[in-house]
């Protein structure tokens, strides 16, 4: 979408992991992360006007009114700093309406060279621009999480990490981070990492205080994975599935999820086939439309069409409801937040349809 007033609402994000170059916007009671700094956003037919005195902005398309939007306000915790002078907003940020998100380690072994990097990822951009710090300590995360709960009412937390060189692939730092946050404040946490070398890490992360786990396939077929993320593709789809099977007993059915980016080359049928396998073992497949991020090798790659997403999300919602895996039941994380995809809206429609029949 194009914004007449780019400063409206909470700060947008540029660079970093997750929904970069986006801004949180609430439309019809649903908060989504909408691209605002990407090339397609600059050409979007949707123009969001300046908010009126009540904070409501009209959304126009070709001069016609199509709806209203509001913007979550800048969180109060952004105004605080640690004792050593680091702004809290460099330690964790607000995602969507009520999710605290942090990248515990802002560097990644996959981000060292063009030959290895995941081509959609901007994890190094926010660090290079000084908008975040490289390593968030457990103490800093606990301090910020407590403030975000008390001042802004955040409901859950996402802890992701760049992949460090060790074999645990970040599980150890996620354990110490989750434990510190849980000791400071009662906040459901999702941790996100690549499958570690040893499945014992799943029980360790759960015992440390993580309520949910994300291990993100991103693309579901080996050729697309090898092309789009040559480094990360060294961990095979088969290893992801064995890790999912090992992690689900530790976290519970529906509390392990995976992020799948639609629009990178996998067909709708391939994505749905992978989702069927995931759902069968109790893993929530969070399918998200790919959004090109400025400054990444894929910045000119087109986003998927609405028809393509519809062809995936409609049957996927049916599959999820049929098997009893609902985003509403996820304790923390991206699947619960849902702001990067329309999947939870499709789930709600499916539930309403069933209620009327
Ligand atoms: S779905 Fe995940 S990445 Fe997207 S806004 Fe929500 S917490 Fe952040």
The verdict on the CB of residue 18 being under 6 Å from ligand 1 is yes
**CA gap 292, 4 in Å, rounded:** 21
Which residue among 30, 97, 99, 160 is best mutated to probe the pocket of ligand 1, counting the most ligand atoms within 8 A of its Cβ?
A: 99
Query: What pLDDT, on a 0 to 100 scale, did the predictor assign at position 72?
Result: 82
Q: What is the mean pLDDT of the chain?
A: 92
pLDDT band at 13 (very low <50, low <70, confident <90, very high): low
pLDDT digits (tens, 9 = 90+) for 158-193: 999 999 999 999 999 999 999 999 999 999 999 999
pLDDT of res. 66: 92
Kindly state if the Cβ of 319 falls inside 6 Å of ligand 1: no
Query: In the predicted model, what is the mean pLDDT of residues 50-65?
Result: 89
pLDDT tier for residue 12 given thresholds of 50, 70 and 90:
low
Higher-pLDDT residue of 50, 210? 210
* pLDDT tens digits, 83-115: 889 999 999 999 988 999 999 999 999 887 777
> What percentage of the chain carries pLDDT values higher than 70?
97
Amino acid 20: pLDDT: 65
Tell me the per-residue pLDDT of 235-285, one tens digit each, with 9 for 90 and over. 999 999 999 999 999 999 999 999 999 999 999 999 999 999 999 999 999
Report the pLDDT averaged over residues 137-156: 97
Cβ density class 97-136: b for 16+ within 10 Å, e for less = bbbbbbbbbbbbbbbeeeebbbbbbbbbbbbeeebbbeeb
Distance between CA atoms of 347 and 42, rounded to whole angstroms? Answer: 30
Cβ(99) – ligand 1 distance below 6 Å = yes
**343 C-alpha to ligand 1 centroid (Å):** 12
How confident is the model over 210-238, as a mean pLDDT?
97
Could you tell which of 20, 31, 103, 158 is best to mutate to test the pocket of ligand 1, judged by most ligand atoms within 8 Å of the CB?
158
Q: How far is the CA of 336 from the centre of ligand 1 (A)?
A: 9
Look at residue 64 and tell me whether its pLDDT is greater than 80.
yes
The pLDDT score that the predictor gives to residue 43 is 80
Residue 319 confidence (pLDDT) above 70: yes
| For ligand 1, atom 8: residue with the closest CA | 95
**Cα–Cα distance for residue pair 23/38, rounded to 1 Å:** 11
Ligand 1 pocket test target in 11, 13, 19 with most atoms within 8 Å of CB: 19
Q: For the chain, how far is it from start to end, CA to CA, in angstroms?
A: 36
Kindly state if the Cβ of 334 falls inside 6 Å of ligand 1.
yes
């Amino acid at each position: 979408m194009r914004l007449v007033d780019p400063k409206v609402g909470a700060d947008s994000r540029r660079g970093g992991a997750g929904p970069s170059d986006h801004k949180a916007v609430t439309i019809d009671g649903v908060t989504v992360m909408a691209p605002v700094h990407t090339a397609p956003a600059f050409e979007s037919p949707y123009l969001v006007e300046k908010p009126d005195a009540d904070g409501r902005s009209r959304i126009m398309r070709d001069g016609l009114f199509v709806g209203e939007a509001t913007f979550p306000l800048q969180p109060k915790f952004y105004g605080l700093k640690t004792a050593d002078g680091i702004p809290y907003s460099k330690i964790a940020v607000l995602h969507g309406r009520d999710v605290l998100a942090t990248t515990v380690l802002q560097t990644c072994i996959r981000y060292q060279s063009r030959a290895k990097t995941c081509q959609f990822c901007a994890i190094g951009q926010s660090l290079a621009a000084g908008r975040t710090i490289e390593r968030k300590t457990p103490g800093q995360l606990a301090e910020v999480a407590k403030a975000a709960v008390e001042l802004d009412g955040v409901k859950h937390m996402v802890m992701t990490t760049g992949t460090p060189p060790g074999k645990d692939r970040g599980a150890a730092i996620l354990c110490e981070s989750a434990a510190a946050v849980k000791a400071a404040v009662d906040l459901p946490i999702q941790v996100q990492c690549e499958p570690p070398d040893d499945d014992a890490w799943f029980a360790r992360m759960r015992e440390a205080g993580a309520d949910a786990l994300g291990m993100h396939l991103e693309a579901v077929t080996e050729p697309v994975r090898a092309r789009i993320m040559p480094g990360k593709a060294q961990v095979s789809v088969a290893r992801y599935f064995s890790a999912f099977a090992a992690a689900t007993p530790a976290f519970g059915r529906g509390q392990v999820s995976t992020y799948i980016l639609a629009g990178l080359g996998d067909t709708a049928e391939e994505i749905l086939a992978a989702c069927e396998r995931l759902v069968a073992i109790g893993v929530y497949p969070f399918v998200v439309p790919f959004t090109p991020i400025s400054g990444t090798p894929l910045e000119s790659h087109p986003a998927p069409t609405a028809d393509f997403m519809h062809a995936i999300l409609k049957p996927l919602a049916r599959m999820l409801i049929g098997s009893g895996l609902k985003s509403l039941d996820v304790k923390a994380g991206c699947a619960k937040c849902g702001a990067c995809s329309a999947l939870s809206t499709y789930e709600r429609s499916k539930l309403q349809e069933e209620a009327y029949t």
